[in-house]
Structure 1
Amino acid sequence: MPEISEFAVERWMDLHENTATHNLAETCCASISLSGLLSLSSPDSKVDDLLDLSQKQGYGAIRGSDALRTNIANLYAANPDNTEETNPITKDNILVTSGGIQANFLALYTIVKPGDHVIVQYPTYQQLYSVPESLGAEVSLWRAKEEKGWEMDVDELSALTKPNTRVLVLNTPQNPTGTHLPLPTLTRILALAQTHSLTILSDEVYRPLFHSTPHPAPPSLLTLSHTPKYHHKNILITGSLSKAFSLAGLRTGWLASPSPALLEKCASVRDYTTISVSQIDDRIASVALSQPTIHNILSRNIALAKENLTLLEEFVREYSWAVSWVRPTAGTTAFLRFRARDGRVLDDGVFCERLLAETGVLVVPGRECFGRGAEFGGWVRVGVVQEEGVWGEGLRRVAGFLDGAGYEGCSVLGE
């Protein structure tokens, strides 16, 4: 079996985030404390709702408490056909995991076998293609194109399929571009998956943070798969409290599927990793995903995203000689392309290291952390849902760097 590749973006963050004074690389919405969580909950909420000091700390509910799994299921309950019928998504469609990253790993370990052909939406989080490769699969990348606004071409996806194609991996909203798959694309993907009997893994950890969509936000594939027109059982969805819900420290994620059999296989694999999620985390997560708490968290984070994107848009406009982008529509990330004053492509790794050393601002180099080979030279990923004190001052420091000698001294690729 092939060895697994070094996880470039996680290694970059591990090496640098503790020395940064302004972490613009963070992809979680600005974190909240437990007291902050209570302030976003019902007026009569109290500490005892989050922490039961009398509860004995055993393993708890192995697959997640009924309360937590029910609240997670409610995230997918909206009917995209706008009929009165409610989608039959219940707690039995949910398996709680230790973060979204474990959910992805369990799903891939369950559905990918040596010799399989796997198609992965790209660019994306490295785990989604490196893990299938480590399991002995052949991986083809379904590439988005910047010149087309990072739009995905389903005809190209169809052309990538082979007789041994078994799995399609999606990431929507997408890391690092901050774009999402619209409803017409999702329905065509489901039709193709039905035709070719593909299992779909959709990493949706950035749902439901849709801050700039020109049309109503598309439903999750889990919701869509329950409608008669688009019915497809071989789907796994992953989600997390880390990104859109500001609670990365809880280490709580989930797998969701319309297929009890597929979820059961993932649960069997999970038995070999983490027996259960912490009872404390489970209880707090249940409160976070309850009403009105979840609504208040998302309203806070969408407002932060919109405010910060306005500042970033002004920055891109003012420094258009140095940076360009496709404005993100959802999630917490934006992908920026930097170039030298003469138009040549910057060495993004050198740029990021020098920016950190001179200003304390941390961002993520695209070529090193998201590229395969020479792809994404000059590209930089930022996380756009930071607190104002971090985001505003961080951008001001980046602007000062672009105006100074440090930027002039950054090397270009090919030299």
Structure 2
Amino acid sequence: METLSILVLEDHPFQAQVVAQQLRTLGCRNLFCAADGEAALVRLSSHGPVDIALCDINLPGMDGLTFLRKAAECGAIRSVALFSGLAPDLRLAALQLARLLGLQVLGDLGKVLSPDSLRNVLLRYRRGAPAAGAQSDDAQPTAQEARLALIQGQLVPYYQPKVDLRSLQPAGAEVLVRWQHPRLGLLGPAGLLPLLEELGLVRDLTEYLLKAAMAFLQWQQPESRLPLAINCPPYLLEEPDLPGRLQELLDYYRLPSSLINVEITENGLPGIAANSLENLLRLRLMGCGIAIDDFGTGTSSLQRLCQLPCNELKLDASFIHGMEQNPRVLAAVTSSLALAASLGMNAVAEGIESTRQLEQLRELGCAQGQGYLFGHPMPGREFANWLRRWPGSTLPKEA
């Protein structure tokens, strides 16, 4: 956290001082405060871009909304977390505005900060994005490097644990990708996926991860094997040989199909074609699970949801992060869980970071979850060690 640059945009001097002190306690050194948007822009013009803006909205002079628009236009901030006493529905709309402006949204802190909530906001940025303005053209991966990454085995599968929220026993994992770049170090998917899309190699990546995941399952003792979830871009569902190719891989690795879950994002559902629907049906008939990922952030209709052969809903992390501060978000989570239950679908909450979130989700009847509270994405052998060390029925310590 020492490397993060942070702006605290708050007009009350004492409140700004309290936030700044909490940030310093968390190890942040590169930070400054401003009392209104105009003063913040002046400081940013001399300071340079910052990674995170902790932003109030009701400010004298230039308010927070105008500041966010102007700062986004000139690239002065990379991400934002709201620190405001506005009504919850207005805060939710302000965060949506920030997303539309192209900013990374880290969360809604309300007006009363706790060290844990502030720390979680910083960790979301640290793990989710590079520092603002930190990369030159020479520090950007190239399409040719992405092509070589697939050939030379530079892509590493990482596993984020999924836990049964009632028993706290491990329930599986989501398979993610990291790029061990020879020049830039370990990169997340944001530096890789657009390049592979450009090259038409996303199918190759998906098969690469499937093979790696199945090899990992085969390496484990049969009694230790848990289902693994693979993200599948919706357009890959149109390929007629998808179910057959997956069955060939399962046969080769001698694994049951129940150990593979296919996750598709909700945004891919509205325009799903007949052959995609047929493939989803075939995957379910084979015994694979089908999950709708990032549920609540897309545009699918209830009719489409009822028609598709999916057996799992994954609630997007943004809803879990907003439950405590925003009654509307809590209502959306509650109704989504009730919908999943009424449709006979498993519900998985993403982005669980605190024991309070865990307790709320348990009270609401959510079956499974994943997030930093349980474990970060990790390489295969580290995940195997996590499975052996996981305490089980006791509440974990917060990340």
Question: What TM-score results when the alignment is normalised by the length of structure 2?
Answer: 0.27
- Is the helix fraction higher in 1 or 2? 2
* TM-score of the pair, normalised by structure 1: 0.26
Higher strand share: 2
